[in-house]
Amino acid sequence: MSHFLSDEQVRIRDVAREFAQVEVSPRAAEIDNKDEFPADLVRRAAELGLFGLMIPQEYGGLDAGITTTCVVLEEIGKASPSLAGMLSVQIALCPVSMNTAGTPEQKTKYLVPSASGENLMALSATEPSGMMNTAAHQTRLTPDGENYRLNGLKIFCTQGSATVYIVGGRTSVDGQEGYGAAIVEKGMPGFEVGKYENKLGWRGSNTGTLIFTDVLIPRENILGGILTGLGEVSGLGGLTGNLGHCASALGCAEGMLAKTIEYAKGRELYGQPMTALQPITYWLSEAWVKIEAARSLLYTTTRMVEEGRIDPNMIMACKVHVCETAFEVCNRLLQVWGGHGMMNDTGVHRYMRDARVDLIAEGASETMLSGIAQSILA
């Protein structure tokens, strides 16, 4: 893929690659087994400047663009799809949402420390009724003088150890119902982080429940208009966030393929090298083909975004195809490992489990297909 990357993009990719191979990879299986948030690796990612990839230079970032960001997340995903998934929220989703909908004051207050790693950000929209079913959401932003009060419950928020949260809630102004977003800071009275879930994949990312009880939200902490819809709240960040998840899923499939090739080369079966068995070689080559096709779709789309040709259908197609492909590849390659693939000691079944999460994170495949259907059938 380096044939279309600039020298600067190659440099950033190589920084991410070394970080992933030298620092993340030796810890990846442990993070999965213990389900502990790797705070030191997250700090290290910030020290390397990765938090600022999508933040404008005027706010301390690199303004490197979504292609570079996806290249970085792909490299980290090869070692730990879980860490890449969590970082995608911090790097590709939240800062872009803040930059798109935020005021200059909000950007200065929140993006500058996010670029340096002082802030870890999270976006929380999902409720028991689902993420996109906003009409059934119970979390509400209600006026309190010149300010607002936030009450409700959010679930499945992938937050790491976030200090700043973008939280969606139903609103109303003069009888007109809408949806808004509040910037909630850790430590605000009435804001409580509930239990973390014990998950199938993305372990170590601290996904859990947020509880809001009469949290006072200053007027200046409303992101966008008070009647802004959920799509407008996340804005371009929702689109780039999906592309970030695609990149981590792509890296997940690549990491599984690399480990499986290494395993197959060193294993004998039925008195001959495993790589001499036709089903095995077909599975490996088929995985390679599918990964390359998924990569082509992803980076064609990221370059379209950077050229200003933002096509939501293409982004939704990426979310479906790349993530479905990653799970299909990881699931098939796990078969090559036989019983060894089921054992925690090899540390490979985490790739299949992490890939499965990407089929749901930031919008399930069916939600994406529904969006595409509405467009092409209109």
**Domains in the chain with CATH codes:** 2-120 (1.10.540.10), 122-229 (2.40.110.10), 232-376 (1.20.140.10)
pTM attached to this predicted model: 0.94
- Give yes or no for a contact between 232 and 189, defined as CB atoms under 8 angstroms apart: no
The strand pairing partners of 215, in sequence order, are 150
Identify which of 148, 207, 233, 218 has the alpha carbon closest to the alpha carbon of residue 360. 207
The strand pairing partners of 180, in sequence order, are 169
Task: Count Cα neighbours of 268 within 13 Å in the Cβ-side half-sphere.
Answer: 3
pLDDT of the chain, 378 residues: tens digit per residue: 556 899 999 999 999 999 999 999 999 999 999 999 999 999 999 999 999 999 999 999 999 999 999 999 999 999 999 999 999 999 999 999 999 889 999 999 999 999 999 999 999 989 998 877 778 899 999 999 999 999 999 999 988 789 999 999 999 888 788 888 999 999 999 999 998 999 999 999 999 999 999 999 999 999 987 876 666 666 667 888 899 999 999 999 999 999 999 999 998 888 888 888 888 999 999 999 999 999 999 999 999 999 999 999 999 999 999 999 999 999 999 999 999 999 988 999 999 999 999 999 888 999 999 999 999 998
Identify which of 23, 378, 59, 24 has the alpha carbon closest to the alpha carbon of residue 204. 24
- Give yes or no for a contact between 363 and 242, defined as CB atoms under 8 angstroms apart: yes
Catalytic residue among 74, 127, 232, 362: 362
CA-CA distance, 226 to 168, in Å (whole number)?
10
CA-CA distance, 42 to 159, in Å (whole number)?
12
Active-site residue flag, 105: no
> Which phi and psi (to 5°) does residue 139 adopt?
-65, 130
CA-CA distance, 172 to 181, in Å (whole number)?
12
CA-CA distance, 103 to 123, in Å (whole number)?
17
